[in-house]
Amino acid sequence: MWYVIWTKTNTEILLRDQIKRRVSPEICSDCRVLTRTEQQKWKKEIVSKTKLLFPGYLFVDTNEPEKLNSLIRQINISDNHPRVIKSGDIYKPITDTEEEILKSLAGNDGNVGISTGIIENKVLKVIDGPLKGFEKYIYKIDRYKRKAWLAMSLFGEERMFSASLNVIRKD
């Protein structure tokens, strides 16, 4: 089952690497930091950059969240105290629906790539990329920055995040 680990922002990659090195695959079979590819204009050129999709969060596949939590609490990264997220006293995995959404958006490599869309009659239609089929979650588009902001219920609360969207045509 997939669980979420909270950590201090900007320590996600370091913590992921430490978990992969120090925790056995029997306890944690997969550990991911979800990213997004973002396009930006820089000196009249379009440059692609990779940024974190959910800063401060890692996603782990484990059947022993208590044991994993005690192991990651021993990993000391710059006064950081990472932990598996709980609901009250219970470690709650992400739901199957949330897992499917994240896998659909981020794919096997954990990166939300660039989507392409068109606007017809003031309605956005994503024609290619990971945002295809997620139009109902998009609440804002910035064509100049080539970004779409999404809002959806993830990890038990409303989350907002951005992804790269290139609108190639508007009627």
Asked if residue 120 lies in contact with residue 126, where contact means CB atoms within 8 angstroms, the answer is no
Q: What CATH class does 2-170 carry? A: alpha beta
| Tens digit of each residue's pLDDT, the chain (171 residues) | 899 999 998 999 999 999 999 999 999 999 999 999 998 778 888 889 999 999 999 999 999 999 999 998 888 776 678 899 988 889 989 999 998 999 999 988 999 999 999 999 989 999 999 999 999 999 999 988 899 999 998 877 898 999 999 999 888
pTM beyond 0.85, yes or no = yes
Strand residue runs (E) in 11-156: 30-32, 35-42, 45-52, 57-61, 83-84, 86-87, 90-91, 111-112, 115-120, 123-128, 138-142, 147-154
